[in-house]
Amino acid sequence: MVYQMKPNTLYLVTDSGLLSSSAESLEAHVEKAIQGGVDLVQLREKDADTAEFIEKARKVGAVCKKHNVPFLINDRVDVALAVDADGVHVGQDDMPCTLVRQLLGQGKIIGVSCNTIEEAEKAVENGADYLGIGPVYDTSTKELTKPTLGVSGVQAILAHLETLDRQVGTVVIGGLNASNIDRVHHTSSTKGKRLDGVAVVSVLMTSSDPERVAAGLKGLLTDEPAFKQAQKTSLLSTTDLTAKTAAILSSIRQKSPLIHHLTNNVVKNFSANVTLAIGASPIMSEIKEEAEDLAKVNGALLVNMGMLRDASETCLTIAANNRLGKPVIFDPVGGGATTFRRNTVKFFLDNAYFDLIKGNAGEIQAVAGRASMMRGVDSLDASNLSDRCALAKDLANKLGNIVVISGVEDVVSNGDLTAVVRAGHQYLGDVTGSGCSLGSTLSACLAVSPHDKFSAALAGLLLYGLAAERAAVSAQGPGTFVPAFIDALYHYSDGGKDFQAALGAREIVTFV
């Protein structure tokens, strides 16, 4: 049949074993969930015998019919036929989709579970009406026999589905709840295809108030999340660039945003001094108990991977900032150096949203590799400017954020606009922590310009690079460069005539 899945579908997969002993009946629980916003129901009762399964199916099916909600049976075609369900959902080890279609006929819905690109393509070819992609994360509701996909794995499947002639609905399943549904739903999209919905089990089946919980989950699907604020970036002329950059720097001085650093001990002092010099306020706190409170008052969060910490706890801090729309900046220091660091980068990409990712070419290549980029990341020449621009643009498009590749020529991209910034001095490479402190500067700029992150990133790169050039004039070497650099940041950070004169002295920014 031609089944059009509703946008932002909330899909309930039942498991009566999760209901408390004092809970209402399964059908009453499902009805309340439907009243809260559930759009599609699948009866999954792996431990029920045929007679019990049919009895439950009749009762739950009647509730779904009452509310005009499609009702599917997990795996059991015989049960679906017995109760005239709206369709069946099958896994890779269940009855083939083509045979299910023969038995059910053209008027029924067939969903197929998929864990790989190959499985997804085959299911579409075999006539599936929608795909259940997963598991996204670990889940306790069933024993996993397939690897978890994370956001990057889901996005890779969606990107391939986009290329097929026949388009079908898509939902994700596996470890999804109120803490991650909005991020998975809104960040796994590709340019031409986005998820149609999310399937949940335990978050609704264990709830004592399924109507309220369903309403909350539905809101997370339909409402634009705070971290995906609309951007107002446009191609900047030289005059616009100067005015915009000056305004952003001046705003830092006026607002003095608090920048929460999760960074390594080697650079804390330098990063704090850089943050103070440009007019912002640093705090170096790794106390998980105050993460929520800091998110309410800070301007941005900087996550530096130089000193690896508990990635799960860090993601909770990131989520607290995401919920409030506070910019989160990620510096994947040494991200490609070891297997452990590469896996940590992937964990962060699958469990967190970053407004900006900054690193050198090797680090950004490592991020792109962990993000399952479709292009051959390893074949890119980091010394080639056009390759670095392509890498930044492709990764920004994939992740829906800003990507900065630092180097002799810095590259910044939001996926639509890409610019090269030629400012700085070689002494920056001779000082420990100069790259980390660039992250502090970028964080302060994004904190005061959350609706134009691209211009904010440009402003940070320009301030940092031009201050380095000014400091190098009087420096005798790296040792004397550091205090001169702090002074130069201080003098340029008001965005005044001295900074504007340095910015206008030559062509520094090129849009490509």
Q: What is the DSSP string of 452-503?
A: -HHHHHHHHHHHHHHHHHHHHHH-SSHHHHHHHHHHHHHHHTT--HHHHHHH
List the beta bridge partners of residue 301.
Answer: 260, 328
Can you give the three-state secondary structure of 297-323, one letter per residue? HCCEEEEECCCCCCHHHHHHHHHHHHH
**Residues paired with 418 in a beta bridge:** 413
Helix/strand/coil for 69: coil
Q: Contact, 401 vs 357, CB < 8 A?
A: yes
Residue 64 burial (C-beta neighbours within 10 Å; 0-12, 13-18, 19+): buried
Cβ atoms 152, 350 nearer than 8 A? yes
Q: How many CA atoms lie within 13 A of 165 on its CB side?
A: 2
From 97, 315, 436, 445, active-site residue: 436
Parallel, antiparallel or unpaired: strands 109-114 and 87-90: parallel
Main-chain dihedrals φ then ψ at residue 283, nearest 5 degrees: -140, 130
Q: Is residue 436 among the annotated active site residues?
A: yes
Q: Distance (Å, rounded) from C-alpha 236 to C-alpha 2?
A: 46
End-to-end CA distance of the chain, in Å? Answer: 47
Report d(CA 277, CA 485) in Å as an integer.
10
Three-class secondary structure of residue 330 per DSSP: strand
Give Cβ neighbours of residue 243 (< 8 Å, ≥ 6 apart).
Answer: none
Query: What is the set of active-site residues?
Result: 436
